[in-house]
Amino acid sequence: MTPAIFGLSGTSLTDAERGFFREVDPAGYILFGRNIDTADQLRALTDDVRAIHGRDVLVSIDQEGGRVQRMKAPNWPPYPAGEKFDALYRLAPASAIEAARVNAEALGADLAEVGINCTYHPPLDVRRPGTHDVIGDRALGSEPMQVAALGRAILQGLERAGVVGCIKHMPGHGLTYVDTHKSMPTVTAGAEELETDIAPFRSLNDCPVGMTGHLLFTEWDADNPATLSETVIREIIRGRIGFDGLLLTDDIDMQALEGTVPERGARAIAAGCDIVLNCWAKMEDQQGLVDRLPALSDAGKARLDRALAATGSPARTADHAELLAKRDALLALTEAA
């Protein structure tokens, strides 16, 4: 199995994609707006990629709410950004936790209905004054315990819908003041301040799936960003955070990283990531990764199996409309305050 999650080019598989994916057997796929039209079309697409393999695979998406929502109106409802739950938590913590849980359950039900079993949510990045807008209103708060509490509620809500969440961006994106899509952030904070960033991840280290961030932490490794740093992955993510789930890179095509996409992917796997996330459906890059990457390790396969085992068994607590109505009533408490 190729240790990669690949993007798709359109709303249906091309013949070239179908043949390529059958041959190289990637660990999964990621969907974007270019792959989405209607619910029926999307379900047909996810059924088609599974039929290639004859087994379940991770079929994933970035579906948080707010600015990060690939499945959009009119076919799917809008979902609020993290700062809405942050605001409610500061007023009524228990109400915010329940609002985050039912919101995630409704969001997860949308995904499960169309055959998506993993969403890259929640972000556990602790917001700071001046945190770049690439995180911005996506953050669940500026206090680690609050971020962890809301993150746990989101994971539980997704689980109720039969969808696995992914904690990101380890070891923390809150101290970055540039956009990793465009350039490499350098974080010069010391060990004590960085404890704030890793605390939510440590609290939720039992999550089956996690994602690295493309940031350079001079305290830990002055030469390599977290995604490409054996030191950060071994000592911080696997060590101090204690995360033993399936570790994905953030999108390996981001401009924060140097070298070709296949070179970056090979370095990430060598550093200790389990899976390379390659989003943009460029066949040349996908083939290059296949040529450069080893097969998925035994440890990675076991982690992938655990992640897949956490999907597909919904324990719904209410219908979709009831979940959204409950969320809206709780969020409205901030307006009444």
Query: How confident is the model over 98-144, as pLDDT tens digits?
Result: 999 999 999 999 999 999 999 999 999 999 887 767 788 999 999 99
pLDDT in tens, 295-326: 999 999 999 999 999 999 888 788 999 999 99
List Cα–Cα distances, 299 to 218, 268, 281, 306, in angstroms. Answer: 29, 16, 27, 11
> Quick check: 184 and 257 in contact, CB under 8 A?
yes
Residue scoring higher pLDDT (207 or 131) = 207
**What percentage of the chain exceeds 90 in pLDDT?**
90
Q: What residues does 123 pair with on adjacent strands? A: 168
pLDDT in tens, 23-75: 999 999 999 999 999 999 999 999 999 999 999 999 999 999 999 999 999 99
Distance, CA of 328 to CA of 325 (rounded, Å): 5
- Mean pLDDT of all residues in 239-264: 95
Tokens of 133: 């807008």
State yes or no: pLDDT of 284 exceeds 90. Answer: yes
- Mean pLDDT of all residues in 264-293: 98
Domains of the chain: 2-336 (3.20.20.300)
Active-site residue set: 181, 250
CB atoms within 10 A of CB 115: 17
Q: What is the reported pTM?
A: 0.96
State yes or no: pLDDT of 255 exceeds 90. Answer: no
